[in-house]
Structure 1
Amino acid sequence: MSRLLLLEDDQSLIYGLSFSFKKQGFNADIARTISEALDLWAKNEYELLILDVSLPDGSGFEFCRKVRENSDVPIIFLTASDEETSVIMGLDIGGDDYITKPFKLSILISRINALLRRTEKYKYTSQEVESNGIKIHLLEGIAYKNGHALDLTGGEYKLLCFLMENTNIVLSKDQILEKLWDVNGNYIDNNSVTVYIRRLRVKIEDNPSQPKMIQTIRGLGYKWNVYC
């Protein structure tokens, strides 16, 4: 049974989500403030976090930053705003997914299951992938550049794996969306892929403004280019 942490202060939403989580077989702890969430986080282990952005004592972004100091647990943001700046901020600080209120519970459940499946898949893989000075230990879930561990979020790590496992193959945004979230693009903005690509380039490219590893193929998508 997967254990989740829900950080949300809307009682009516808490009630609906709690019922759905229990029906799906999830064990969910509820926090209504960042303070409560920090206390639960310190005492328990979770497979996935669901964080509201607007809270009585701050923002879910603050809690995400704290978690990312020592964990790559999957994180889904719940936000009342679909503005690009808000979405980009959530992804940039380490969020793996976001969903805009109001939303259908079935969609949120699908997104949770997708992230959990994705995490389990990489947890038990025992291969290594290497090129361009980048080496991924898939069993450990760690990527290295020239022998130094890269500080990647869960989403960035999985995007890097997907690109490197498909060397010199052009991958469309839709293919990347389906691979990373296990759902079709109807629920997730294609801009999310652009954000992840930009974030990953900053962390692995010698010159992110002139990328050599992750190449943009105009009108088609992206590909991992092997040059050494």
Structure 2
Amino acid sequence: MKRIFLLEDDLSLLNGLSFAIKKQGYELDVARTTLEAEEMWNQDRYNLAILDVSLPDGSGFDFCKRIRETSNLPIMFLTAADEETDIIMGLDIGADDYITKPFKLAVFLSRINALLRRSNDFNSSLSELKSGDICINILESEVYKKDNLLELTASEYKLLRMFIENHDQVLSSEQILSRLWDCEEKYIDNNSLTVYIRRLRIKIEDDPGNPKRIITVRGMGYKWNSQN
């Protein structure tokens, strides 16, 4: 059974969220402060982390950074911090999704299911994918560049694998988002996708400012250049 970690201090929201998540068949552990979260956290215990941003004793952004130091499990922000700068910050530091309050419960649960399903769906009978000096170890969900292990988030891993599996083909933003988010792409705008692409380029390109692998095709989308 999948286990979810929820860091949320709003009591008026917690009961409803807990009931809805458990009704989906997931186990749930709840922390209400960053101190409680630090005491409870065990990366091998959880399949997904859902974090608020504004907490009584700190920020969910800081706890997200702490998770990303050692784990690439999916992370979702669920928060009232809805400024564009907050959303970009959350995605830049490693979150896979960012939902702002108020939200529709059905959409929230759908995004949880999509994150967990996609993190599992990338296991297959193939053992690895290679393109140039990039190698994806599918069984371990690990990515290497010139034999150096890259620290990718779940969304970055899925995005990279999608590009390599469809190398030299132009993928529109809509195609990419629909594959990553189970046709919920209408809830994610192109600015968010731009953040994902930039973050991935920083990790895999020799010169992120002049990308040779993930190519922007103006007016059409993106493609993976297998010749580099």
**Counterparts of 1:171 and 1:78 in 2: how far apart (Å)?**
29
**Counterparts of 1:132 and 1:48 in 2: how far apart (Å)?**
32
Q: How does 1:1-228 map to 2 (within 5 A)?
A: 1-42=1-42, 45-228=45-228
**Counterparts of 2:127 and 2:4 in 1: how far apart (Å)?**
29
Whether the 8 Å contact between 2:215 and 2:222 is mirrored in structure 1 is: yes
**Counterparts of 1:82 and 1:52 in 2: how far apart (Å)?**
12
**Counterparts of 1:186 and 1:43 in 2: how far apart (Å)?**
31
**Counterparts of 2:89 and 2:67 in 1: how far apart (Å)?**
15
CA RMSD of aligned residues (A): 1.4
Whether the 8 Å contact between 2:64 and 2:95 is mirrored in structure 1 is: yes
Whether the 8 Å contact between 2:53 and 2:81 is mirrored in structure 1 is: no
Report the alpha carbon displacement of residue 31 of structure 1 after superposing the two structures with TM: 0.6
Sequence identity percentage: 60
Equivalent position SS for 1:5: strand
Offset from partner CA, 1:17-44 (integer Å, 9 cap, x none): 0110121111111110011111111497
**Counterparts of 1:143 and 1:22 in 2: how far apart (Å)?**
33
Aligned length: 228
Whether the 8 Å contact between 1:143 and 1:150 is mirrored in structure 2 is: yes
Runs of 5+ consecutive residues of structure 2 not aligned to the other structure: none
**Counterparts of 2:195 and 2:92 in 1: how far apart (Å)?**
8
**Counterparts of 1:186 and 1:48 in 2: how far apart (Å)?**
22
Question: Letter of the aligned partner of 1:32 in structure 2?
Answer: R
List, as ranges, runs of 4+ consecutive aligned residues in structure 1 with deviation greater than 4 Å: none
Whether the 8 Å contact between 2:72 and 2:151 is mirrored in structure 1 is: no
Deviates further, 7-16 or 175-184 = 175-184
Report the alpha carbon displacement of residue 158 of structure 1 after superposing the two structures with TM: 1.0
Question: Under a length normalisation based on structure 1, what TM-score does the superposition of the two structures give?
Answer: 0.96
Offset from partner CA, 1:86-128 (integer Å, 9 cap, x none): 1111111111101010001111100000011011112455331
Report the alpha carbon displacement of residue 151 of structure 1 after superposing the two structures with TM: 1.6
Whether the 8 Å contact between 1:205 and 1:212 is mirrored in structure 2 is: yes
Question: Letter of the aligned partner of 1:188 in structure 2?
Answer: I
Equivalent position SS for 2:187: coil
**Counterparts of 2:180 and 2:38 in 1: how far apart (Å)?**
28
Deviates further, 25-34 or 78-87 = 78-87
Equivalent position SS for 1:78: strand
Question: Under a length normalisation based on structure 2, what TM-score does the superposition of the two structures give?
Answer: 0.96
Deviates further, 19-28 or 206-215 = 19-28
Question: Letter of the aligned partner of 2:152 in structure 1?
Answer: L
**Counterparts of 2:46 and 2:125 in 1: how far apart (Å)?**
21
Report the alpha carbon displacement of residue 173 of structure 1 after superposing the two structures with TM: 0.9
